[in-house]
Amino acid sequence: MNVDNINRWLTLGANVGVVIGLIVLIVELRQNSSLTRAAMEIELTAVQSDLELRMSAPDISAVWMKSVYHPEELTLVEIKMMEGPLVAVTQQIDHLMNMQEAGLVSRSRVESHVRNIAPFYFGSRFAQNWWQANEVGWQGTGLYEIAGPIIDGVDENFMRDYFDSLTIAPETPPTEGTSE
């Protein structure tokens, strides 16, 4: 009788220990998932910042503006220079898609990111032409399923209109006899 009671208490204690162990494991997995997501989001932001800093260099900026305003005048070397940022942005979207597949971000997070950046990278005739030439390599993938329609829907004059809207006309001095 005594041995049976001891065995039952030991079994109960072992089962409680297993349940506690599983709870600790679940908490630890969630923490690891959160840390992984945070690290990958930081990496995504760093890539975006690095891309923007590189594009602000005078030689790249000049080519970028040429691709927006006069894409038909791009040389082959300049076309190659413009390919770099577009490939980087496409890879950035693919990185986010990998995060979605791993369960680290939602589909709506990916769609929101693509909607936010697509006009600023694919909103020119050159970038739209580049996407049309390269989208075949992405067809059948999750990236194409999400990004394809969004990029295809971007106005090819978005960047031109955007940069024009940032231009501030010089102030004209008041003429004599008028007051401000």
What ranges do the domains of the chain cover? 32-166
* pLDDT one digit per residue (tens) for the chain, 180 residues: 688 888 888 888 888 888 888 888 887 877 777 777 777 777 877 888 888 888 889 999 999 999 999 999 999 999 999 999 999 999 889 888 888 988 888 999 999 999 999 999 999 999 999 999 998 888 888 888 999 999 999 999 999 999 999 999 888 877 776 655
SS percent in the chain: helix, strand, coil, step 5: 80, 0, 20
pLDDT of residue 104: 84
Listed in sequence order, the residues at least 6 apart from 152 whose beta carbon sits closer than 8 Å to its beta carbon are 131
pLDDT of residue 180: 54
The number of helix segments (H) and strand segments (E) in the chain equals 7, 0
Q: What angle do CA 94, 145, 134 make, to 5 degrees?
A: 65
Categorise residue 94: left if φ over 0, alpha if ψ from -120 to 50, beta otherwise.
Answer: alpha
